[in-house]
Amino acid sequence: MPAPLRLRLDGDALVQNWRTLDRMSGTAACGAAVKANGYGLGAIEVARRLADAGCRDFFVSNWQEAAELAPLGLRVSVLHGIREEDMPAATAGFARPVLNTPTQVARWKAAGGGSCDVMVDTGMNRLGVSADDIAGGLLDGLAIETLMSHLACADQDSPMNAAQRDRFAALAGTTSARRMSLANSAGIALKGYAFDLTRPGLALYGGIPRADMTAIRQVVRPEAQILQRRRVSAGDTVGYNALWTAKNDTEVAILNVGYADGYRRDFTNIGAAVVSGRVLPVLGRVSMDLVAIGVDAASDLDEGDWVMLDYALPTSAAASGLSQYELLTGLGQRFERVWTTS
Ligand SMILES: *Cc1c(COP(=O)(O)O)cnc(C)c1O
């Protein structure tokens, strides 16, 4: 069956973004967060491309995501660690747990231990054991590959960044960990936060969490198809709740994409399609499966033609109030993921 929608994914831009982040990581190795199905792009396709480029450390949230990557034979860490029901998967050896709590540490030791990672909380108060737990000997006897922590405010210039870095640095040499890892995408742009291994996600996929990360290239471009072209008379309205009114007679095209595909309602009267450099504005409310755009500037477009939505992440996030993470991870299953070169 022909796909109704396409997500164009620029494989060269993805690899170039990883190389850029690897260079910015200095002497630290650069890994890749591929959780949430590679932020919506497709975890297997992303991981395969990055492994070919030299990436050696991959991060997912849970064991289902790790199992999906298992055929690739990569080094995968599972960020949410081990629940009791995860133990058969966790002891099968296709991925390594990131232990987050004293209970998880005890569970792993009881199962015979083996190589693991550990998350320590340095101020975000999300996941992780505490520095006091470590000082109290919680991690003694564990074979730790990577000790990691996570920054709460890396996309801002916040005093929390240096405070977290210093608390983390103070743990060097206090555990058996071979490596230390702190920085996500935004943390890579901070100086002195790379330690031994960085863990970018968002910026691999074209997200720009800090304005100074200008070398990051767009990877994801949604495309939709025109189902109908119509003329709307001056004074008439378009869409649910009549949120757009034609000032003049206006050419309108109806696209087969909507909020059920992740093209969120927040783009109502704000989003746009871009065709050969022409910006075609969203008119009125985004529906579940449809959206209207103005095509006065595109007399050539007709039923069946494909148009690309403006989905540049930093500007789309600023315009819509959504985060770049939501824009990526919300893209739905009706899009066929089409990998291209640039
Ligand atoms: C998701 C995640 C990352 C990647 O973060 P980005 O902001 O997408 O670069 C890194 N580390 C941990 C622990 C994460 O959960």
Tell me the pLDDT tens digit for each residue of 107-165. 999 999 899 999 999 999 999 999 999 999 999 999 999 999 999 999 999 999 999 99
Please work out whether the CB of residue 149 comes within 6 Å of at least one atom of ligand 1.
Answer: no
Strand partners, 254: 228, 292
CA–CA separation, 166 and 176 (whole Å): 19
Please tell me whether residue 106 adopts helix, strand or coil conformation.
helix
* pLDDT for 83: 98
- State the closest ligand 1 atom to the C-alpha of 154, by its place in the atom list counted from 1: 7
Q: Are 212 and 317 in contact (CB under 8 A)?
A: no
Token pair belonging to 80: 């949410």
CA–CA separation, 5 and 57 (whole Å): 32
- Where do the CATH 3.20.20.10 domains begin and end in the chain? 31-205
Ligand 1 centroid–CA 188 distance in Å is 11
Please work out whether the CB of residue 6 comes within 6 Å of at least one atom of ligand 1.
Answer: no
Looking at this protein, which amino acid is placed at residue 204?
L
Please work out whether the CB of residue 208 comes within 6 Å of at least one atom of ligand 1.
Answer: no
Please work out whether the CB of residue 49 comes within 6 Å of at least one atom of ligand 1.
Answer: no
- State the closest ligand 1 atom to the C-alpha of 200, by its place in the atom list counted from 1: 9
- CATH for the stretch 31-205: 3.20.20.10
Q: Cβ contacts of residue 179 below 8 Å, gap of 6+? A: 29, 145, 146, 147, 195, 196, 197
* pLDDT for 261: 98
* pLDDT for 342: 84
Please work out whether the CB of residue 33 comes within 6 Å of at least one atom of ligand 1.
Answer: yes
Please tell me whether residue 325 adopts helix, strand or coil conformation.
helix
* pLDDT for 228: 98
CA–CA separation, 321 and 323 (whole Å): 7
- State the closest ligand 1 atom to the C-alpha of 184, by its place in the atom list counted from 1: 9
109 among known catalytic residues = no
Site to probe by mutation for ligand 1, drawn from 184, 188, 313, 329 as the one with most ligand atoms within 8 Å of Cβ, is: 184
Parts of the chain with a pLDDT under 50: none
- E runs forming strands in 61-206: 76-78, 96-99, 116-119, 144-148, 179-181, 197-198
- Where do the CATH 2.40.37.10 domains begin and end in the chain? 220-340
How far is the CA of 116 from the CAs of 29, 146, 305, in angstroms? 18, 7, 51
CA–CA separation, 96 and 225 (whole Å): 43
Q: What is the pTM of this model?
A: 0.97
Token pair belonging to 54: 């030299």
Please work out whether the CB of residue 79 comes within 6 Å of at least one atom of ligand 1.
Answer: yes
CA within 13 Å, CB half, 235: 0
Q: In which region does residue 252 sit, left (phi positive, over 0), alpha (psi from -120 to 50) or beta (all else)?
A: beta
Atom 13 of ligand 1, nearest CA residue: 150
- State the closest ligand 1 atom to the C-alpha of 203, by its place in the atom list counted from 1: 9
Q: Give the number of other CB atoms < 10 A from CB of residue 86.
A: 19
Token pair belonging to 259: 């909020």
Task: Please give the class, per CATH, of domain 220-340.
Answer: mainly beta
Site to probe by mutation for ligand 1, drawn from 59, 127, 156 as the one with most ligand atoms within 8 Å of Cβ, is: 59
CA–CA separation, 36 and 45 (whole Å): 13
Please work out whether the CB of residue 184 comes within 6 Å of at least one atom of ligand 1.
Answer: yes
Ligand 1 centroid–CA 197 distance in Å is 12
Ligand 1 centroid–CA 172 distance in Å is 21
